[in-house]
Structure 1
Amino acid sequence: MIAASVSRFAPDDPLDGLEVGERPAPEARDGWSVVAVRAAALNHHDLWSLRGVGLRAEQLPMILGTDAAGVTADGREVVVHGVVGGPHGRGVPADEPRSLLSERYPGTLAEQVAVPTWNLVDKPAELSFVEAACLPTAWLTAYRMLFTTGRAQPGQRVLVQGAGGGLATAAVVLGAAAGLEVVVTSRDAAKRERALGLGAAAAVETGARVPRVDLVLESVGRATWSHSVRSVRPGGTIVVAGATSGDAQAAELQRIFFQEIAVLGTTMGTRDDLEHLLAFLARTGVRPLVDSVHPLADARTALARLAGGEQFGKIVLEV
């Protein structure tokens, strides 16, 4: 089968380690299902894998990808929950630590992927395969940050650091649909304008002063951390789900404890979160923003677009 894999680590230019070509097809085993992938979305996790983060050399080649929607052997249309194992997982030993597809087990950027059957969630008929494939990482993380961990309520003000990526656009669309006042930041004027079109109440330059917010969604890290801490109201919450620019150099602990700011971490979401997200989209008509769709064989072009930060919304590979 055709797959996009990490063949070697390339910290400086991740695409140097990418190989798109034939790989052995997965085999069925007890408690697992093989899914014929119809669509798979890209994430920054794929670029980190190509750089060697979270993988060991002896695991190579490793098929990339954490997101997919497809069809099982019995014709069931499904969305793949990409978190394997951990406290809520099934299909692997109970003491196996949590991992994402493409970390311990081959990922979704392939014609087929094997996952624990428990990880499969029915795809709503209202969603296309391309739309459904956008959800299990960025959209699931945004949903959990807003509603499960952040406990956002209609009428509250939420700051989303960054605009354009899958997580940020998901947070804008989901937040607006739920009655939140969403403020986004971006250095790019065009991305700020598009965020307003998606339902953001305000879009400002990165680092610009904003009215105090109830909740901050932080996934950038060093470049935005200080702004996040200064933008949240006393007693407010910062939910952290990434640090794409690196760890913050100063934690600003004095401001955090003095103003009683809650800092909560989250990664992805549970299978239940994914089911709730799918139901939310099916019932409201909200749909993920798709930046572009590429054939699986052209994974290099798609990953180059992601690496260049050119996207607005999700980049999807279609089989």
Structure 2
Amino acid sequence: MRAVVFHAHGGPEQLVLTELPDPVAGPGQVVVRVHACALNRLDLWVRNGLPGSRLPLPHVLGSDIAGVVESLGAGVDAAWLGRAVLVNPGLSCGTCEACLSGWDNLCPQYRILGETAPGGYAERVLVPAANLLARPECLDTITAAAAPLTFLTAWQMLTVRAQVGPGQLVLIHAVGSGVGVAGLQIARLHGARVIALASSEAKLARARELGAEFTVRSDAPDWEKQVRALAPVGKRGVDVVFEHTGAATWEASLRLARRGGTIVTCGASSGHAAVTDLRQVFFRQLQVLGSTMGSKAHLHRIVLLMARGALRPVVDRCFPLAEAAEAQRYLDRREQFGKVVLTLDAGAT
């Protein structure tokens, strides 16, 4: 099969198109013919090299996969064969306490496709049958590929960790990113009011179309003051800060949260060594919550809401598999609103 791999950590020039052996499904597994695979910033981090990671090379990136089930291993329901699917990117043992309690993303063996397991920058991918979800008819293949990782991440951040509710004020950083787009929609679905931050007027206009009530340019030197000047914010602050940018915004996020408010974070794209003034945390009784991915059960709920039209992935631009390096460069320039997707099938729609 064709696949894009890297043999050494470094820049996007390390990505090369090559041939790899076709995967073979074992018991409980399936082989999915990949039609589309969305990019995530995780792809860039893994390609560059994560601290302490000893990843077997060459490696295939790609966490967000949509395609068709091509072959089945022993014990897999034959009804899956030939079905259009999207793939849950979280891999877990399925038998430990965390998995059985519905927190499979806390499994000691937890892995993510494309991070520490071969991913979707390839014509075929091997996954457990438990990770399959039937693709709703309302989603085309490319849009379906834009759904799993970011919506699963944002769902856990807002509904499980922060427990966002009607009327709450939610500040969303980098709203044009995949997780930002998902967070905006999920917050609005639960009745929250959203303040969206982005680096361009075009992105803010798109955010307003998705339901953001207030928008502020994050590249303005006084963006924090502009947020504070909004009538619902004032001296009170916001109920929830949706953080994933890290060092560049962390101190402001702490300051902007109301007394007893919540900062929930899933990433640190601007740097992980953020400064925390602990007085902000204990005097104002803030909740600082970490969040990574979400349970397999959550993605079933998310896909059901997509089937009903309540949530919808946003695709910014598509690239063919052979242009994976250019797709990553485009993502790294942070010009997109929504997801960047690789297409692997000429008929993918």
**Hey, what's the Cα distance between the residues in 1 that align with 2:264 and 2:54?**
33
Moved more, 223-232 or 178-187: 178-187
Q: Which residue of 1 aligns with 2:246?
A: 221
Query: In structure 1, which of residues 241, 252, 276 is the aligned counterpart of residue 266 of structure 2?
Result: 241
1:80 matched to 2:105? The reply is no
Distance 1:62 1:133, change over 3 A: same
**Hey, what's the Cα distance between the residues in 1 that align with 2:141 and 2:51?**
28
Q: Which residue of 2 aligns with 1:308?
A: 333
SS at match of 1:233: strand
**Hey, what's the Cα distance between the residues in 1 that align with 2:166 and 2:29?**
40
- Contact kept, 8 Å, 2:43 with 2:115, in 1: the verdict is no
**Hey, what's the Cα distance between the residues in 2 that align with 1:104 and 1:208?**
37
How many residues align? The count is: 314
SS at match of 1:174: helix
5+ residue gaps, structure 2: 71-80, 228-232, 345-349
**Hey, what's the Cα distance between the residues in 2 that align with 1:161 and 1:286?**
19
TM-score, normalised to structure 2, is 0.84
**Hey, what's the Cα distance between the residues in 2 that align with 1:269 and 1:95?**
11
1:67 Cα shift?
A: 0.8
Give me the CA root mean square deviation. Answer: 2.1
Moved more, 40-49 or 70-79: 70-79
Distance 1:159 1:248, change over 3 A: farther
1:103 Cα shift?
A: 3.0
1:266 Cα shift?
A: 0.7
Q: Per-residue CA shift, 1:137-183, capped at 9, x if unaligned? A: 11211122121221111221101011211111111223223322111
- Contact kept, 8 Å, 2:90 with 2:110, in 1: the verdict is yes
- Contact kept, 8 Å, 1:215 with 1:237, in 2: the verdict is yes
1:55 Cα shift?
A: 7.7
1:217 Cα shift?
A: 0.7
- Contact kept, 8 Å, 1:83 with 1:101, in 2: the verdict is yes
1:276 Cα shift?
A: 0.8
1:105 matched to 2:117? The reply is yes
SS at match of 1:167: helix
Counterpart AA for 2:224: A
- Contact kept, 8 Å, 1:6 with 1:49, in 2: the verdict is no
5+ residue gaps, structure 1: none
Distance 1:54 1:101, change over 3 A: farther
Matches within 5 A, 1:1-319: 1-10=1-10, 14-53=11-50, 56=53, 59-73=56-70, 74-85=81-92, 87-88=98-99, 97-206=109-218, 207-209=223-225, 210=227, 211=233, 212-319=237-344
- Contact kept, 8 Å, 2:12 with 2:326, in 1: the verdict is no
SS at match of 1:148: helix
**Hey, what's the Cα distance between the residues in 1 that align with 2:2 and 2:242?**
36
Larger radius of gyration: 2
**Hey, what's the Cα distance between the residues in 2 that align with 1:104 and 1:143?**
23
Moved more, 296-305 or 172-181: 172-181
Counterpart AA for 1:313: G
TM-score, normalised to structure 1, is 0.92
